[in-house]
Amino acid sequence: MTVPFCFSDGTNPTLTGLDVTTRIVHDADEVLNAVKGHGWVCFCSEVVALDDEHPLAITDDMVLSAELVQTDGTTLHIRNVGKSWQLTCFVEKPDGADALRFDDMFESTFKGRRMKYRTYWRKEDVDNVPVWRPWVGVFAGWEHGEAK
């Protein structure tokens, strides 16, 4: 569903919903097994990009952080927190109406790729006035090709 207004720069957000679930994992192998889909992974030794042509090849290094999008559109954020990892799963609900989604594109350090992100805003009360505010940014995949 499209919001019936746009911003002064012509940006037109999409009205949607977003489910966010988080779990804590204490086992490094379990975290490594969760690394699936397209995205990027920061290991202790290097940062790697993953896609169909470049699947995960590292199996003996610790994951520090990652952002991965699955084929069904679900996104997983992984963050190392001390001796454990926080795995946060983002699932968009197109029939929802509690978030505004903006689609963004950012340059990448990986040559020939740009990073697609979705920024979600949600309403918060400020002095009893509902105000839309940025809430969370979610990796949405790779765009191949040089910047335009």
pLDDT digits (tens, 9 = 90+) for 121-139: 999 999 999 888 999 999 9
Distances from the Cα of 96 to the Cα of 31, 37, 60, 87, angstroms? 30, 25, 40, 23
Query: Which pair of tokens denotes residue 78?
Result: 């992984």
Q: What pTM was computed for the model?
A: 0.86
Band (pLDDT 50/70/90 cuts) for residue 110 is confident
* Residues ≥6 apart with Cβ < 8 Å to 15: 1, 2, 3, 97, 99, 100, 101
Predicted confidence at residue 127, as pLDDT, reads 93
* Residues ≥6 apart with Cβ < 8 Å to 72: none
Rounded to whole angstroms, the maximal C-alpha distance in the chain is 52
- What is the DSSP code string of 73-92? S-EEEEEEETTEEEEEEEEE
* Separation CA 78–CA 92 (nearest Å): 18
Residue 1 has pLDDT above 50, yes or no: no
